[in-house]
Amino acid sequence: MHDQRILVLAHEGIGDLVFLLPTLYGLKEHVPGARIQVAVSRTQSALASTLDGKLFESIPVYNRGLTQVLHALRQFRPHVYFEFDGGLRFAVAALLSPAMRRIHPPREPVKPYAAMLHRESLPLRVGTHAVDTLMSLLDLIGVPRKRICFEFDVPDKAVEKARAIAERHIPDGSIALIPLSGHRCKDWPVETLQETINILARDLRRPVVIVGRNRYPGLEHAIDLGGQTDFLTDAYLLRYSGAFDVVAGVDTGMMQIAGAISSDSEGSYLA
């Protein structure tokens, strides 16, 4: 596999790319001559930009349509296509692709009509984390599992901005709340968000900081950083800065960014 081309497509969320990182690091470390491309969604593009050219080559597949996926496959002409989404269109794309080997997610959680098209699938690992299921790809192709790594390099500009924000606005012992998710129906309702803030800030006397893309001008007893940062600044604040003792939220992607902590980080992460 050392001179082969590998194309990887995962689910479209930020957390899905985070979960895939240990598998990609395993491929990069033990198949050093292979070219690895990852088809990223619009949501994943900021995180992917920190790894593009280092861990893999990032290619935008924003609308996730069959035509766009097929174009990526036919342009790159991978020897191996790892598709971890499980959608029917991605199974069809595999059949129409030039890839000699096509590996899909476990059959059991996939729709039956999509699973029928899967020539080769990962084994289902019941009771284990999704990361372990994804890393079973390494077992399947004979690559050793030597370490689990979730690291990514935040650009200096975002690091400087995050450090300045932490110094000016985030007191020691703060709790970060992330009220927004990628889907409006899952966003934290303002009423219960305020109730949570009241318990943490007023009753428990803990500083509370709101992190995310929107401001909440009516909230009381909280430091609202909403709208003042971007994804990479938030990622550094939550993951590397050590500014927060606890992170809680409804955005599983950002929670996974915060929760895949390095060995010198401490904290609790609640979703």
User: How confident is the model at residue 147, as a pLDDT?
Assistant: 85
User: How confident is the model at residue 33, as a pLDDT?
Assistant: 87
Nearest CA to 253 out of 52, 9, 41 is that of 41
CA 102 to CA 202: how far, in whole Å? 55
Segment 185-232, tens digit of pLDDT: 888 999 999 999 999 998 899 999 999 988 998 899 999 999 899 999
Contacts 24+ apart (CB under 8 A), 60-68: 61/9, 64/12, 64/89, 65/89, 66/92, 66/93
User: How confident is the model at residue 1, as a pLDDT?
Assistant: 57
Are 216 and 188 in contact, with CB atoms under 8 Å apart?
no
Confidence of residue 268 (pLDDT cuts 50, 70, 90): very low
Q: Token digits for 4? A: 């082969």
Nearest CA to 224 out of 209, 203, 242 is that of 209
Looking at 25-131, which runs of residues are DSSP E strands?
A: 35-40, 57-60, 80-83, 101-104, 120-121
Confidence of residue 67 (pLDDT cuts 50, 70, 90): very high
Given a cut of 90, whether residue 127 has pLDDT beyond it is no
User: How confident is the model at residue 250, as a pLDDT?
Assistant: 87
Given CA atoms 30, 36, 40, 45 in this order, what sign does their dihedral have? positive
Segment 80-111, tens digit of pLDDT: 999 999 999 999 999 999 999 999 999 988 98
pTM: 0.88
User: How confident is the model at residue 32, as a pLDDT?
Assistant: 84
DSSP letters for 11-52: -SSHHHHHHHHHHHHHHHHHSTT-EEEEEE-TTTHHHHHTTB
User: How confident is the model at residue 252, as a pLDDT?
Assistant: 78
Given CA atoms 8, 11, 13, 17 in this order, what sign does their dihedral have? negative
User: How confident is the model at residue 41, as a pLDDT?
Assistant: 94
Rounded to 10 degrees, the C-alpha dihedral 257/258/260/266 comes to 160
All residues at 6 or more sequence positions from 205 whose CB lies less than 8 Å from its CB, including other chains: none
Segment 143-189, tens digit of pLDDT: 998 888 999 999 999 999 999 999 999 999 999 999 988 778 888 99
Give, as one character, the DSSP assignment of residue 189. Answer: P
Q: Token digits for 55? A: 């861990």
User: How confident is the model at residue 166, as a pLDDT?
Assistant: 96
Confidence of residue 75 (pLDDT cuts 50, 70, 90): very high
CA 92 to CA 96: how far, in whole Å? 6
Given a cut of 90, whether residue 5 has pLDDT beyond it is yes
User: How confident is the model at residue 267, as a pLDDT?
Assistant: 41
